[in-house]
Amino acid sequence: MMGLVLASASPRRKELLTQLFFSHPNVTFSVLAADIDETPFSDEGAAELVTRLAFEKAKAGFLLAKQQQERHTEIPSTPLTVLGSDTIVVLDNNILGKPLDIHDAKRMLQALSAQEHYVMTAVAITDGLRTLDRLVKTKVCFCSLSTSDIEDYIATMEPMDKAGAYGIQGMGGNFVTRIEGSYSAVVGLPLVETRDLLKEMQILT
Ligand X SMILES: Cc1cn([C@H]2C[C@H](O)[C@@H](COP(=O)(O)OP(=O)(O)OP(=O)(O)O)O2)c(=O)[nH]c1=O
The residues that touch ligand X, with contacts defined as CB under 6 A, are 8-10, 12-13, 33, 57, 85-87, 89, 98, 119, 161-164, 166-169, 172, 186-188
Alpha-carbon distance of 68 to 62, in angstroms, equals 10
Classify the phi-psi angles of 199: left when phi > 0, otherwise alpha if psi is within -120 to 50, otherwise beta.
alpha
Q: Dihedrals φ, ψ of 194, to 5°?
A: -65, -40
CB of 145 vs ligand X, minimal distance in Å: 15
Q: Dihedrals φ, ψ of 61, to 5°?
A: -65, -40
Find the catalytic residue in 35, 86, 152, 161.
86
CB of 24 vs ligand X, minimal distance in Å: 22
Which residue, 77 or 116, has its beta carbon nearer to ligand X?
Answer: 116
CB of 11 vs ligand X, minimal distance in Å: 8
Is 154 in contact with 106 (CB distance < 8 Å)? Answer: yes
Q: Which residue is nearest to ligand X (CB)?
A: 8
Q: Is 86 a catalytic residue?
A: yes
126, β-bridge pairs = 82, 131
* 146-166 burial code (b ≥16 CB/10 A, e <16): eeeebeebbeeebbeebbbbb
Which residue, 1 or 16, has its beta carbon nearer to ligand X?
Answer: 16
Is 88 in contact with 97 (CB distance < 8 Å)? Answer: yes
CB of 102 vs ligand X, minimal distance in Å: 17
Which residue, 23 or 93, has its beta carbon nearer to ligand X?
Answer: 93
Which residue, 167 or 190, has its beta carbon nearer to ligand X?
Answer: 167
Q: Which residues are catalytic?
A: 86
